[in-house]
Amino acid sequence: MSSHGTSVKSEAYTQDDLMRSQEPPQSVGMLVKNHLDEMASGIHTAHTSRREMFSYKRLQPILSFTPVSFNDGKVFSKWLSDQFYPRMVHLRVEKGLAIESLRENCGHLAKWMLVHGVSPLMIDQFKAFVSMKRGQMWKLLVKDGGARSDAKPRLTTEDMRTLLKYTDDLVKDPNMLISTNMKYRKKEGEKAARYRRCNTNIALNLHAALRMGLMTTKRPSEISAILRSEINQHRVVLHPSKTFRVGETTEYEMWPEFWPSFGALLKSHKADRLFSLNHVTLSNWFKSMLVSCGFDYHWFNLHRLRSYSADALAMAGATEHEMMAHGDWKSSDSVQPYIGEQGRQAHLARASSKKYAFAKKVGLATTPEETEYELMMSLILDLNASANADPDGQWVTLVDTEETVHELMSRTHGSTLLNIDEIETGSSLSNDELGLLSSKVVDVPSSNPAAPV
């Protein structure tokens, strides 16, 4: 009987397999969607699923191909030119999406192709086409009207002053800030839900978050995770989130000017953390505050404080290793993207100053000694400029004469001394010197009008 049962079960499996073999193969779009749904249910894959879901929604219209269809290179080429590239033109040229974001989408698509069995040869060709260094796609997008690069505005020192003042005003009047993306529950009788309005608790959190970001050069998630027990009026301790620093801490000396902000926030609630708002809510309110101050929320967010802090370190004269220690960057390559134009200019000014000091020290930056003739002419030019710059007689009382400087020098034998007896067109004298010798003498009259000049 056992043998008969096994036979029936085996026959059932055979029928199921036969039915599956008759079903049309699923598209990559369906395979990816099912896979992301499975990932979303796992605590270890939920975050990755959310990131890849953004790419899936953007690329869904062009994911109707099946993995085996790309075994034919002609089919792949037609899909690349007729579906994929036009979709990228829509996203980059027409919608203006950022290059970094589209690069991530392309990376996810290449991963999906690999996971779901697309030919490795076609995957390599796809990666080559979308490569930033050697790929043709980005060059073609520029020809079709896409920007060559993305301008990423950075917060300036003046912007920081604006934000610091705004948060001071916000604590006094929290109602001045309205959220740009968070709403209350829709009430009965309302046509649409109202956007949330700031309160004192939110204002205190924003006031402290701005100052903590400026003081510590840390990542937003690390700032929002600060514990109440790890901050006092002398120091604050933060825990780096990167894997190469797991288990370590970074301690910063407290800025006395900022402690009242943190102290006020701690007194406003009894939670274990410094901030009473969670990371997502704090970030959303920070974006709303930036919009209220006139910034573009697309570029400016809580992480921009880390970018400005890197510029501030550069402008303050910090070395690269000091910057790595202060911001918990792993390497020089990690630091460089955070240094903007204002930080680069600060580095340039210091480097130029050091180079000039070295050139003077070794005798490369020297000024040739003036000859007696050059010294005399320089003195005459300076005196003449000073006299003519004071036409109202505040420096001396001046009287114009009919005698030119050259005539005066000839009369007093000065021309012979300076070897300028003749003024000719082909003279070696400069235009400034010729102009000076041809100008009229400005005289200082004697206190006795009858005295000879």
How confident is the model at residue 51, as a pLDDT?
85
In 3D, which of 311, 321, 317 has the Cα closest to residue 341? 311
Tens digit of each residue's pLDDT (9 = 90 or more) over 419-433 = 655 555 445 556 666
Tens digit of each residue's pLDDT (9 = 90 or more) over 206-258 = 999 999 999 998 889 999 999 999 999 999 999 888 766 777 888 999 999 99
CB 213 within 8 A of CB 305: yes
CB 31 within 8 A of CB 116: yes
How confident is the model at residue 447, as a pLDDT?
47
- Tell me the mean pLDDT in the region 146-175: 90
267: pLDDT strictly greater than 70 = yes
Categorize the per-residue pLDDT at 415 as very low, low, confident or very high, splitting at 50, 70 and 90: low
How confident is the model at residue 270, as a pLDDT?
94
How confident is the model at residue 40, as a pLDDT?
87
CA–CA gap between residue 39 and residue 35 (Å, rounded)? 6
398: pLDDT strictly greater than 50 = no
Q: 3-state SS string over the chain?
A: CHHHHHHHHHHHHHHHHHHHHHCCCCCHHHHHHHHHHHHHCCCCCHHHHHHHHHHHHHHHHHCCCCHHHHHCHHHHHHHHHHHHHHHHHHHHHHCCCCHHHHHHHHHHHHHHHHHCCCCHHHHHHHHHHHCCCCCCHHHHHHHCCCCCCCCCCCCCHHHHHHHHHHHHHHHHCHHHCEEEEEECCCCCCCCCCCEEECCHHHHHHHHHHHHHHHHHCCCHHHHHCCEHHHECCCEEEECCCCHHHCCCCEEEECCCCCHHHHHHHHHCCCCCECCCCCHHHHHHHHHHHHHHCCCCCCCCCCCHHHHHHHHHHHHCCCCHHHHHHHHCCCCHHHHHHHCCHHHHHHHHHHHHHHHHHHHHHCCCCCCCCCCHHHHHHHHHHHHHHHHHCCCCCCCCCCEEEEEEHHHHHHHCCHHHHHCCCCCCCCCCCCHHHHHHHHCEEEECCCCCCCCCC
CA–CA gap between residue 250 and residue 268 (Å, rounded)? 26
Query: Of 35-44, 188-197, 251-260, where does the model show the most confidence?
Result: 251-260
First to last CA, the chain: 144
Query: Of 85-89, 362-366, 397-401, where does the model show the most confidence?
Result: 85-89
pLDDT above 70 as % of the chain: 78
Cα radius of gyration rounded to whole Å, the chain: 37
Which residue did the predictor score with more confidence, 452 or 407?
407
Sign of the torsion formed by the C-alpha atoms of 254, 256, 262 and 263? positive
Backbone φ and ψ for 247, nearest 5 degrees, come out as 90, -10
63: pLDDT strictly greater than 90 = yes
CB 443 within 8 A of CB 453: yes
- Tell me the mean pLDDT in the region 158-169: 94
How confident is the model at residue 273, as a pLDDT?
95
450: pLDDT strictly greater than 80 = no
How confident is the model at residue 401, as a pLDDT?
57
452: pLDDT strictly greater than 80 = no
CA–CA gap between residue 208 and residue 49 (Å, rounded)? 32
Which residue did the predictor score with more confidence, 331 or 236?
236
pLDDT above 90 as % of the chain: 43
407: pLDDT strictly greater than 90 = no
- Tell me the mean pLDDT in the region 317-330: 85
How confident is the model at residue 2, as a pLDDT?
46
CA–CA gap between residue 93 and residue 145 (Å, rounded)? 6
- Tell me the mean pLDDT in the region 333-338: 78
CB 287 within 8 A of CB 297: yes
CA neighbours closer than 13 Å in the CB half-sphere of residue 418: 24
Task: Name the average pLDDT for the chain.
Answer: 82
Kindly report each contact of residues 269-273 with a partner whose C-beta sits within 8 Å and lies 24 or more positions away, as own/partner.
Answer: 269/201, 271/228, 272/227, 272/228, 272/229, 273/224, 273/225, 273/226, 273/227, 273/228
Which residue did the predictor score with more confidence, 165 or 385?
165
CA–CA gap between residue 50 and residue 34 (Å, rounded)? 13
